[in-house]
Amino acid sequence: MVMILQSSFNNAFSLDPVAAMESTSIGMMQVMGFHWKELGFTSVGEMWDYAKTGIEAQVSLAIRFIQSNSKLDKALKDHNFEKIAFYYNGKDYRRFGYEKKLFTAFKKYSG
């Protein structure tokens, strides 16, 4: 599966690098490339280069993304898993059970 995705990305990149990077998620939190400007980058390529430097950069990217959306940030601070899932994944979040997965992870790791 990864090889197919890489091949598709490489094909898209060869046609339009910016569009390919903007329409692909980046890093461990899967932040979409089209968020580059609101996250303080000068280009989508700069955002990609930053994320590729390592896990610390990817965590930082995730924090920047959360803080760029005040509703998501508040939902996270309030432990409102329904709203977190909605603001992060959109209106179809229930289809994948994200709110349940977040709640389960919270219970497991919060002690």
Residue 3's pLDDT is 58
Residue 5's pLDDT is 60
Identify whether the C-beta of residue 8 lies closer than 8 Å to the C-beta of residue 33.
no
Q: In this structure, are 52 and 88 located in the same domain? A: no
Q: In this structure, are 38 and 89 located in the same domain? A: no
**Res. 1: pLDDT tops 80:** no
Provide the whole-model pTM. Answer: 0.81
Q: In this structure, are 7 and 55 located in the same domain? A: yes
**Number of domains the chain is built from:** 2
Q: In this structure, are 9 and 62 located in the same domain? A: yes
Q: In what helix (H) or strand (E) does residue 25 lie, and over which residues does it extend?
A: strand 25-26
**Res. 93: pLDDT tops 90:** no
Q: In this structure, are 64 and 85 located in the same domain? A: no
28-85: pLDDT as tens digits: 999 999 999 999 999 999 999 999 999 999 999 999 999 999 999 999 999 999 999 9
List, in sequence order, every residue forming a beta bridge with 31; answer none if it has no partner: 26
The DSSP bridge pattern shows strands 31-32 and 25-26 to be: antiparallel
Segments forming the whole domain that contains residue 78: 70-111
Residue 4's pLDDT is 58
Residue 85's pLDDT is 93
5-16: pLDDT as tens digits: 678 888 999 999
